[in-house]
Structure formats: C-alpha cells, structure tokens
Structure 1
C-alpha cells in the first residue's frame, strides 16, 4: 500500500475513494480537498478495520458535524438498550457515535457497535482501561495504556480521545490556580489522580510517539482531549485551560509529522460573551486543526434543559470556528440519557450546527431555510413537514390539533397573516368569519 492514512495519501497527491465520497457529498473541489487534508485542516476519520463506514469530513471546508455519546456503565449495563439507541441515532442521520462505556464487556459492545454503524465511531480508551484492567488506578503502567489503545484500534475505532495535554506542568498549573469545579473531564481527572499517586508523567504525553505509531497503523484519528476543559462558566478561559491548549497545539504538530490525522477537543462551559473568543484563540493555537466542542453550555443553572443551554453555545461556536459539536441531552449532569433524551439532544445540536452553517455562509445551508420559507408562504403543510429537521415530530403536532380549514392552523385560523397577505396581494377581498 502506498499510504496508511488519509493525510499521508493527500501529501502524496493520492485522491482516495474516501476523499472522492466526501468531495461529492459536500461539493468540495478535488484539488482543494487534497490540500486541506494534507495540511491537517480537514480530516476524514476512518479506521481500516471499520468496513462499513460512511466517510465524513470534519473541518473548515465541510458542514458542522454532530456527535452522539452512548455506552454502558455499572448502573446501566444493558447493551441492548444502548444498541437500540445507536440504531435510532443512525436513523436520525448523526455523523458520529462515541462509545463512552466504562464497565462490563466493553469490547463485545464496541465490536458490535462498529459492526452495525456506518457512522464514524469514537472512544476513550482511558475509561475502558480502568474498567477492565483488573488493576487499581495507581498500578496501571504505560504498557496497560498502550495495550488498551491497540485493542480499540484493532476493533475498528475511527477516532480516540487521548488526554495527552494534561502533563505534569499543566497539573501544577491546576493546583496553583484552584477552580470552582476543579477538573470535570472523566479521563482528565483519572490521569491527574494517577500522576499524583505515582509521581510519574502522563504516559500519553511521555510516550506520545509510541501511541501515534499505533494510530498511524490503523488510520485512527487522534482526538486530543481537553482534560482541563471548564466545568463551570466561572472557570472558563482560565490559566489551566489555556496552558493545556498550548500543549495541545504542540501535540497537533507532532501528530501531523507522523502522518496521523488530528482534531482537538474543547470546552465545556463558557459564558455567552466568551464563546467566540474561545473559538478564535483555539483555532490560532491549534494551527486551524478541526475543533470539537462539548456544547458549550452557556449557563450552569439549567439541569433538565441543558440541551438548550448547549445549543445556544453550540450555534455561536459553530459560527465562530468550531467544526464538530458533541451533543448534550436534557439528562446532562443528572443521569445516563434514555432514548427520548438522546433524540432531544440530537435535534438541539443539529439545529445549532445548521444555525452555525447559515451564519458562516456554508454553501447550501441557507437554501434549506429558504425552501421552508417558500413552503410556508404557500401554506404547503405537507412540504413544511417534509423539510423540517424532525418530520415525525412536526407531523404529530399538526395532526394533534387539526384546524377548521386545512389552509390554516389552530393558532390563527382565519386571521392567518400568510393566507390573508396572499389574498390581498392577489386582489382578493379578505373576510374574517
């Protein structure tokens, strides 16, 4: 084989079948696509062992993508329930599914997930290692870390969250600059604890090149995790977050040098007025590598509604440089989301992603809104429903309260502004009965 990864192929001028699919699907010029993949600003995650994957691009040239989190835990160990959620997420046309499993037979679940999903699959090896190594956290070794990453690569995972930026230097920054919510990243907190208990450097950082060699072999994209992402708006844009971000930029360049595709994860909780600033700083320090954000949530007071707080921040983030949005559900901070929570989270995040695409004038985005507006102007309810982001829900609402006359709805009835404007501009008399 002349290449092992998409970035290596692009640097050799090879137009892969994955690039061809993306170029057609997102209407990207062939030469420009090769250029953007070669310089790391566009990635096409796809493990060579994930045979049924539908290639997806993440980066400045592509539409904003949406990720869904699923996974089994000790309190919610039913794999069938999670696989049912996976099938629903695929039906709703998400771009990515991330397995956050941390208990039980995670490998069997992971392999099933890769087998059934055409969406790209992500994982966090740190969770799996803790749950299945049979060792206490402090007894884990670099070889345990490396074995877990290899297992995930062999199983077909397309991108892995690796918390390589939370090194001893950053850990000292965390201790000197105490936060309201400390470290809220699960993987980041485990690594911080491991470093404190052992006195050793983070293996993901100390032996970074060895991990990159594994990722290169299978064309796994490294998703550089932000162990110091803020868990409250009070802690946003602080010294710990920025210290780690600088390190993540350095690690990005080292991965590119090894022909490994890279994206970088970002916050978290950010007040509304700092979202755009965070995106600009991150893109600058990360050399315009694709940026993946959780939310961000713009207030901390809305448990049960955090899909909304997340969508507000996500829309601003997507319009300001974020390339990939991780969904947040109404269950965030409260419990593992069920299927209904997942659906609400997906829809909220897809709305945010589309709003961001419209704001940044992504080709074809505004046309979707214009088509909906045209259908509304024509009072074409069937077309409005078909064009909506969730036709099933739109249809249920329409059917639940049928109007007296089909060309109106039960809100305005004969006082419908659209109907009456159409009439008066056509020279007809408007009568309200």
Structure 2
C-alpha cells in the first residue's frame, strides 16, 4: 500500500520509518502516535527530499520542541558565519532550524543547511522571493511567489511558514486602527503591502489549493503563519489576531482533507495572565492542531534580555498546550544574533521547554531532574556537569572559584548544607571551626 504524506500513512494504518523512530524517542505506543497523526494533533515534518533527517514529532503528548532562527540578510550576507550558527544549533540539540534568509545566495545557503542538518528545516518563502527576483515587492506575480515555494520544497524543506490567513477582510481590521504596533510579522507585513498596492487578495489564501498540491507531493508541513500576531502587550488577543486564527482553523480543515500536515503559529507579545486562554483558544479554533509560538514575550520593557521574557512566556504556554517554542535571543529587536546570543537563547528556550514537560508529566522528563538531584546530594560534581543542560558553563564556574574543601563550594564552604547533612547522617563530626 502506498501513501502520500505521513498523515495519509497514519490514516491508512501504515507504519513509516519516521513513525518508528519518533515512537522510540517519545516513549509512546506506535498505535497512539498514529491515532494522533491521523487526527492532525501530531505531525512529523519530513520532506521526502530531506535525506538525512532525524525525524521529530510535534503535538499532543509529545515533548516540547524548540526551533532556532538564522539565515543571511543584506546587512549580514556572508554564508560561513551562519553555517557556524547552524553547527552550534545542532550541537545544542535544537530539533528544528528555520532559515529566514532574505538576500544574497539564499539557495546556496539553504542547500548547504539541508546537506548537514538532521534537524527539521523550515523556511518562509516570501522572504526569499523579494531577494530572489531582485524586483519591487508589488511587481512579484502570483506565479513567481509559487515558483519560490516550489524551489524550497524541492530542496528538501520540511515545513513552510506561509501567512495564508491574512486575507483582505482581516487586513481591513488592521487598517481600522487601535493597535500600537500594527503588523510586526515580517511575512505578514510583506503580504499586507503586496495586497494594498495591488488591491488584490493574499495569493496564498486565494490559491490555497495550489499550495496544498505542492505540500502533498513532497510531504511538506504547512506552518500557518500568524501575520497579525501581537507585537506588544497592548495588541494581544485583539480582533485582528483572533479573526486570523479563525481563518487558520478553516484552512487547517482544508489541508487535512488533502492529508497535508499542519501546525499553527502564535503570539508574540502577551501578558502572562492571557497566555493560558490563548492556548486553549488556538486548540479549540484550530481543532487541536499543534501550536508553534514565538515566546510569548511577557513584557515589552526588557530589550537585551528578551530571551528571559520569552522563556517565561514559553514555559507558561507549553505547560498550557503549546507544542513548539521558537527561541528568542538577547538580541531580539536589536540586531542579528551572534553565536553567544544564540547560545543564551537556545538554553533559555530549552529550559522553558523542559520545565513545561515536567509540569505536563511527559514520560522521562522528571527522571532527568531526579538524576541531577541525586548527583547534588552526593556532591558528585562531574556527575552534575554531565547531566547539566549546558555542561560547559557550570564547569567553568566551578573551576573559576576553587573551594578549600572539594566537598563544598565557595558560597558556603564548610557550612554547606549538603556536605554537613551527609556527614552528620553518616555519624561523622561536622567540624565547622577549623
């Protein structure tokens, strides 16, 4: 029996090689995995042309995944520095990389990325269209937009962010005002501009079936972009955001009719007390499709530290149903991130994802923490370093400030609670005064 996509295979009862790998990684029964994939609540982004992919699942009952953004731009068009970032993202166990390249040798970079990356790869084709055709945005034709999509999927991209839900009706809501930051989505703003200048409908909304044809052929997952995501706390959960979300839910059902896998992209900036409600709303309006969030950033006043504002929001979001977190670096809103920025962003996002998995009771998540606790109780420093999410930094801290006694640290010395409890429970003298 043949199948077109991972969703099609699940609905036909066919166990794919990707499903076997995912079931083992996630410690779930293959039957449960396939049932969720058939419903659309779990996806395995896996382009047929991405030959070295190590597949991951995103969605209901799966561990929370993280994504790293990178790519070349007009101001930073050198490929090699971005390839260094790719290698770091892979070393730090990011499950996905989004290539947001928008200028220069974008296809060369994308192809090199796919050659070395076992992580799933996503792109935003409209970014590439402007640089690829080297023409004004308003002059790009519908066929040219779709030709760029075709090139991306032929190269092996596993998921595409396309802002299909920002149609003329929702664009009118934006023009009515009330927002402090209008549209902050780069892809959303480009499509809004194209629609306004040409007085035409969003081509990806109007010709959605054409997009589904491409995705079905290559088994590419549609990441339905949130062009109206809030760019500040003030704009969260407004009519523009919610109306687009309703449209994305309608498009999700159309994609599922074609066995095309879908995830939904979400906010953005949002106060902490709104996050849980937004997660529930997305799952309801989009029929349980996996939810991919940027943050959410829980305050607007911490530039330079937005990896922290996003990690706080990401942990709350994932605990309440978000399935996939896009990392945010300290350089967010300020500049293209450096390697150091990337590391900070990846670690912050991995902390958020793991904390949420512990809260959700994902199989095996708590075991990692318990192993660390046992190593701490035993004052097993090397064991702690090996178990650490980032083994490098804690070891550097330890070596930079050596204690007098190996079974303590320079914070407490011989007054270390763990050291003294171990000694007293073993019947030994504590001896604090020598």
Q: Quickly name the TM-score band, shorter chain normalised.
A: over 0.9
Q: Once superposed, what is the RMSD of the aligned Cα atoms? A: 0.8
The residue that corresponds to 2:111 in the other structure is 111
State the SS of the aligned residue for 1:121: strand
- Residue 367 of structure 1 deviates from its aligned partner by 1.1
Q: Distance in 1 between matches of 2:223 and 2:59?
A: 13
Q: Distance in 2 between matches of 1:110 and 1:263?
A: 22
State the SS of the aligned residue for 1:195: helix
Q: Distance in 2 between matches of 1:269 and 1:142?
A: 31
Q: Distance in 2 between matches of 1:72 and 1:279?
A: 32
Q: Distance in 2 between matches of 1:265 and 1:194?
A: 21
Instruction: State whether residues 177 and 239 of structure 1, in contact with CA within 8 Å, keep that contact through their aligned partners in structure 2.
Output: no
Cα deviations across residues 96-132 of structure 1 (Å, max 9, x unaligned)?
A: 0000000001011101110010100000001000111
| TM alignment of 1:291-302, pairs within 5 A | 291-302=291-302
Cα deviations across residues 325-369 of structure 1 (Å, max 9, x unaligned)?
A: 000000000000011100100000000000110111111111111
Task: Kindly indicate whether residue 57 of structure 2 is the aligned counterpart of residue 57 of structure 1.
Answer: yes
For structure 1, the residue ranges without an aligned partner over 5 or more in a row are none
Q: Distance in 2 between matches of 1:61 and 1:22?
A: 12
The residue that corresponds to 1:146 in the other structure is 146
Cα deviations across residues 263-294 of structure 1 (Å, max 9, x unaligned)?
A: 01000001111111111111111111000000
Task: Kindly indicate whether residue 42 of structure 2 is the aligned counterpart of residue 39 of structure 1.
Answer: no
| TM alignment of 1:33-432, pairs within 5 A | 33-432=33-432
Q: Distance in 2 between matches of 1:149 and 1:155?
A: 10
- Residue 175 of structure 1 deviates from its aligned partner by 1.4
The residue that corresponds to 2:10 in the other structure is 10
The number of residues matched between the two structures is 433
State the SS of the aligned residue for 2:356: helix
Instruction: State whether residues 252 and 262 of structure 1, in contact with CA within 8 Å, keep that contact through their aligned partners in structure 2.
Output: yes
- Residue 34 of structure 1 deviates from its aligned partner by 0.9
For structure 2, the residue ranges without an aligned partner over 5 or more in a row are none
Q: Distance in 2 between matches of 1:9 and 1:379?
A: 50
- Residue 177 of structure 1 deviates from its aligned partner by 3.8
Instruction: State whether residues 64 and 353 of structure 1, in contact with CA within 8 Å, keep that contact through their aligned partners in structure 2.
Output: yes
Cα deviations across residues 214-249 of structure 1 (Å, max 9, x unaligned)?
A: 011001100000000000011111110000000000
- Residue 178 of structure 1 deviates from its aligned partner by 2.6
State the SS of the aligned residue for 1:122: strand
State the SS of the aligned residue for 1:223: strand
TM-score, with length taken from structure 2: 0.99
- Residue 137 of structure 1 deviates from its aligned partner by 1.1
Cα deviations across residues 392-423 of structure 1 (Å, max 9, x unaligned)?
A: 11111111111111100010000001111122
State the SS of the aligned residue for 2:193: helix
Q: Distance in 1 between matches of 2:136 and 2:22?
A: 44
Q: Distance in 2 between matches of 1:429 and 1:408?
A: 16
State the SS of the aligned residue for 2:383: helix
- Residue 140 of structure 1 deviates from its aligned partner by 1.5
Moved more, 50-59 or 128-137: 128-137
- Residue 134 of structure 1 deviates from its aligned partner by 2.5
